[in-house]
């Protein structure tokens, strides 16, 4: 088995793939930017060799943000000349998340980081995700002892005015492209573009279901 190695690579040699289903809201794109500025690259970009270049399998959004920040090189793990099927499977695994956060443990961890209120600027959670997680377990967000300012999401204030609920479900893999195309078409045609990506997609789904009722 070939031993994988991390190598700094010219950022211009990388190119995104055409089948990435993972989207990032403006809010989370800003968090990626904050993370890179604070920590640099601690997670390499996964690529494969294709047409004399490196096609990105995992890390497209970090690559794009790095380009906007003026990076000239990025750390890369090259998986070599692998097939389309294997690249897509690895991409799905890289984008996926197997575990769920324990809300109580997460709350304790956030309390430990409470003195550094900028933590919310790069956490990989949207405010909706945090609100849904904590409200589902009746945790008072006031107990986190994190003082906010104008640049931070006021999660505790959102608790009393929650307007959306995160729902998770699975669909057959062969139908995922079809579902995504339909939702994106409805988002575009109905102008669901003002909120983050998850809310826009949810509004499109509700519109579709109401049109069938």
- 184: pLDDT strictly greater than 60: yes
Max mean pLDDT range (89-98, 144-153, 173-182, 199-208)? 199-208
Is the pTM value of this prediction over 0.75? Answer: no
- 61: pLDDT strictly greater than 60: yes
Question: What are 181's two structure tokens?
Answer: 């195309």
Q: What backbone torsions phi and psi does residue 54 show, to the nearest 5 degrees?
A: -115, 115
In the DSSP assignment, the letter for residue 105 is H
- At residue 67, the pLDDT reads 95
- At residue 187, the pLDDT reads 87
10 Å CB burial of residue 57 (0-12, 13-18, 19+) is: buried
Tell me how far apart the alpha carbons of residues 192 and 190 are, in angstroms, rounded to a whole number: 6
Instruction: Give yes or no for a contact between 119 and 110, defined as CB atoms under 8 angstroms apart.
Output: yes
- At residue 98, the pLDDT reads 65
Axis crossing angle, helix 127-136 with helix 103-112, rounded to the nearest 10: 120
pLDDT per residue over 126-146, tens digit each?
A: 666 666 666 655 444 455 454
Q: What backbone torsions phi and psi does residue 179 show, to the nearest 5 degrees?
A: -60, -45
The residue assigned the tokens 């690579």 is 9
Tell me how far apart the alpha carbons of residues 97 and 67 are, in angstroms, rounded to a whole number: 26
Tell me how far apart the alpha carbons of residues 93 and 88 are, in angstroms, rounded to a whole number: 9
DSSP SS3 for 92: helix
Pairwise pLDDT comparison (27 vs 98), residue with the higher score: 27
In sequence order, which residues have a C-beta less than 8 Å from that of residue 141 and are 6 or more positions away? 134, 155, 156, 159
Question: What are 166's two structure tokens?
Answer: 């995160």
In the DSSP assignment, the letter for residue 58 is E
pLDDT per residue over 90-118, tens digit each?
A: 988 887 766 666 777 777 777 777 655 56
- At residue 141, the pLDDT reads 45
């Amino acid at each position: 088995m070939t031993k994988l190695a991390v190598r700094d690579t010219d950022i211009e040699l990388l190119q995104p793939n055409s089948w990435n289903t993972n989207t990032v809201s403006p809010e989370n794109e800003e968090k990626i930017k904050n993370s890179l500025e604070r920590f640099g690259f601690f997670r390499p970009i996964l690529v494969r060799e294709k047409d004399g270049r490196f096609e990105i399998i995992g890390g497209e959004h970090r690559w794009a943000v790095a380009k906007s920040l003026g990076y000239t090189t990025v750390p890369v793990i090259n998986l070599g000349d692998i097939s389309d099927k294997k690249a897509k499977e690895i991409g799905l695994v890289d984008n996926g998340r197997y575990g769920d956060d324990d809300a109580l443990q997460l709350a304790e961890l956030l309390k430990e980081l409470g003195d550094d209120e900028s933590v919310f600027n790069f956490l990989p959670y949207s405010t909706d995700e945090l609100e849904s997680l904590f409200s589902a377990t009746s945790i008072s967000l006031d107990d986190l002892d994190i003082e906010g300012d104008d640049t931070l999401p006021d999660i505790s204030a959102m608790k009393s005015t929650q307007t959306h609920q995160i729902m998770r479900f699975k669909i057959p893999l062969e139908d995922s492209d079809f579902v995504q195309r339909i939702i994106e078409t409805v988002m575009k045609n109905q102008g669901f573009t003002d909120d983050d990506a998850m809310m826009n997609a949810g509004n499109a789904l509700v519109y579709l279901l109401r049109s069938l009722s």
